[in-house]
Amino acid sequence: MLMIRGLFNHLSSRAVAALARRRPVLLRKFIAAANMLAVPGQSWEVAAEEIMIPRYSSSSGGGGRRGRGVAIVWFRNDLRVLDNEALYAAWVSSEAVLPVYCVDPTLFSSTTHYFGFPKTGVLRAQFIVESLGDLKRNLMLRGLNLLIQHGKPEDILPSLAKAYNAHTVYAQKESCSEELSVERAVSKNLEAAIQPFSKSQNATRLELLWGCTMYHIDDLPFNCKDLPDVFTQFRKSVESKSVIRNCVKIPTSLGPSPNVVEWGSFSEVTQLGLQPYKVSKGLKFIGGETAALGRVHEYFWKKDMLQMYKETRNGMLGPDYSTKLSPWLASGCLSPRLIYAEVKRYEKERLSNMSTYWVLFELIWRDYFRFLSIKVGNSLFHPGGPRKLTFNWRKDQKLFDAWRNGQTGYPLIDANMKELSTTGFMSNRGRQIVCSFLVRDMGIDWRMGAEWFETCLLDYDPCSNYGNWSYGAGVGNDPREDRYFSIPKQAENYDPEGDFVAYWLPELRAVPKEKRHSPGLLGVQPVVPLRHGRRTSKSNNNRAGAANTVNK
């Protein structure tokens, strides 16, 4: 196995850009020569620690520390130090901060709602384990630590609040029903934990802060219940009427923590009863804020790929056709506002073009799906989607298994599904293609696909995942109900040499390039006929695909 940390490290960033633009076939061959690629590449720790972290830190902490007592910061999907509103609020309001992460069995040991797939697959679990280890190290560098306890937050947090006499639990606000249910249970149990024991002691408050979008929810030019039903209307409105807030600069010293006897650990997926999985092919993402910052620096500044993003974003093979920031965004290792700040810095110091704007465009899509989840509630997860439409979806398990196992007989579908199961990642283009095939050609319930993605994706978050699947199924916020991706046309446009399918289906390497996308080549006959052989949707080229925003 060949592991390359930074495929293009021996080439200059300009050379990589020129190669991608002028010799795309040669570039794809170069990529295919490597078996497994780490993202980010070489020397990312140095870039993060010496450049990125100091840029978004403060030696003074802004207005300074004004609080008393102990505050708890409950880490959820915000596994970072930089631009973390909850962490900053806990520091300002206290004399001691207790950072906590709850290894919730509801997240790691349960199954999806309708079809019973594992809620968190081993690849995402490993990514979260890596991210927590990195978070712990980064907190320790600032004088804190991370208390890791296994159990439900609604049980753990009230117990800790009582034990440490904490006045507030700070956390990032979420927007979907399962997460909101946990928030309500935590708040209720915090109140109950104090009242029976002390009339003089106030109940610990749960203070939830917004920090998961580029545009802050309080800065929208409308209430979420009045969110436009069409993305373009939303985008034009926020771009013209809203301002993106600056990142919160986190003090370089956050200590002390209260005295804790045992900080706990979550260093192996075996603690969840899962077997460790080693990515042996494709892209291996490294979890944690440090790796996320290293990737931003690598893609924007070192390789200078940001200037080409719009041209290359529909690629499917290699580490640098898109930013690949989505896994870190989904777990909160990276703030969307920090990406915005880096894009604006790049535009000021190097150049501003449609590619630099398009990264922000993708983040606006991500914001839209988050705010949409507030407006439509649980209908986001229902068969008829936000539009409450009625379709006669099939639930054919045999057909679905052929799709998820990459055995449909269509190389482009099968290669994408192999990549997903092997790496936990799939390109934006690939996601749209396999969604269209499952829903339009197979007629399978779109929620089966969405739940399988929930299991597998490193960059899973409920808003983007279900927002995109409902969109692709024609039951979401899409003016066109019957959006369709023609597999032959998609192959012709985005994998004309068959390099992507040959990489994931190596038996095809011996097949002439012009025939690599022919159905049924590998002894698996097509499981269904294609509904439309050549039809494609030009408008999809302008679709954000926020499920893998900044999969950009």
Instruction: Give the pLDDT score at 483.
Output: 84
> Range(s) for CATH 1.25.40.80 in the chain?
3-50+288-376
pLDDT in tens, 328-385: 999 999 999 999 999 999 999 999 999 999 999 999 999 999 999 999 999 999 999 9
DSSP string computed for 523-551: S---SS--S-SS---GGGGG---GGGTTT
Write the class of the CATH domain 3-50+288-376.
mainly alpha
When the pLDDT of each residue in the chain is averaged and rounded to a whole number, the result is: 90
Span of 162-176, 304-318, 472-486, 492-506 with lowest mean pLDDT: 472-486
What tens digit of pLDDT does each residue of 11-32 get?
434 444 554 555 555 445 444 5
Question: Known binding site for FAD: residues?
Answer: 309, 322-326, 362-369, 459-461
Higher pLDDT, 201 or 4: 201
Which of the residue ranges 83-92, 233-242, 270-279, 315-324 would you say has the lowest mean pLDDT?
A: 270-279
Instruction: State the pLDDT at residue 60.
Output: 77
Average pLDDT rounded to a whole number, residues 99-118: 96
100 and 156 in contact (C-beta within 8 Å)?
A: yes
Contacts of 550 (CB under 8 A, 6+ apart): 322, 323, 324, 325, 326, 329, 339, 359, 362, 363, 366
pLDDT tens digits, one per residue of 436-482: 999 999 999 999 999 999 999 999 999 999 999 999 999 998 767 67
Whole-number Å distance between alpha carbons of 516 and 410 = 10
Q: Identify whether 519 is preceded by a cis peptide bond (ω within 30 of 0).
A: no
List, in order, residues 6 or more apart from 278 with CB less than 8 Å away. Answer: none
Non-local (6+) Cβ contacts of 234 within 8 A are 227, 228, 364, 368, 371
Residue type, 159: S
The pLDDT of 293-297, averaged and rounded, is: 97
Residue 441 DSSP label: I
pLDDT above 90: percentage of residues in the chain:
81
Q: What is the pLDDT of residue 159?
A: 97
Whether pLDDT at 540 is above 50: no
Please give the pLDDT value at position 175: 97
What is the CATH superfamily name and number for domain 397-547? DNA Cyclobutane Dipyrimidine Photolyase, subunit A, domain 3 (1.10.579.10)
> For the residues 51-73, what does the mean pLDDT come to?
89
Q: What is the three-class DSSP state of 140?
A: helix
Q: How confident is the model at residue 248 (pLDDT cuts 50, 70, 90)?
A: very high
**pLDDT for 392-433, tens place per residue?**
999 999 999 999 999 999 999 999 999 999 999 999 999 999
Other Cβ atoms within 10 Å of 548 Cβ, number: 34
Residues of the chain within CATH 1.10.579.10 domain(s) are 397-547
Mean pLDDT of 68-76: 98
Instruction: Encode pLDDT of 478-521 as tens digits.
Output: 767 678 999 999 999 999 999 999 999 999 999 999 999 999 99
167 SS3 class: strand
pLDDT value at 9 more than 60: no
Residues annotated within the binding site are 309, 322-326, 362-369, 459-461
CATH 3.40.50.620 domain residues, the chain: 61-251
Exposed/middle/buried for residue 6 (C-beta within 10 Å: 0-12, 13-18, 19+): buried
State pTM to two decimals.
0.91
pLDDT at residue 391, as a whole number = 87
Query: What average pLDDT score do residues 115-136 get?
Result: 97
Q: For residue 199, what pLDDT is reported?
A: 54
Q: In whole angstroms, what is the distance from residue 150 CA to residue 102 CA?
A: 6
**Are 311 and 19 in contact, with CB atoms under 8 Å apart?**
no
Task: Give the per-residue SS3 of 363-388.
Answer: HHHHHHHHHHHHHHHHHHHCCCCCCC
**Superfamily of the domain at 61-251:** HUPs (3.40.50.620)
Q: Let me know: does 119 contact 239? Beta carbons within 8 Å.
A: no
Q: Long-range contacts of range 486-489, CB-CB < 8 Å, 24 or more positions apart?
A: 486/530, 486/532, 486/533, 486/534, 486/535, 486/536, 487/410, 487/412, 487/413, 487/433, 487/437, 487/517, 487/530, 488/517, 488/530, 488/533, 488/534, 489/534, 489/535, 489/536
91-104 mean pLDDT: 98
Beta strands in 180-232 (DSSP E): 205-209
Beta strands in 90-200 (DSSP E): 96-103, 147-150, 166-172
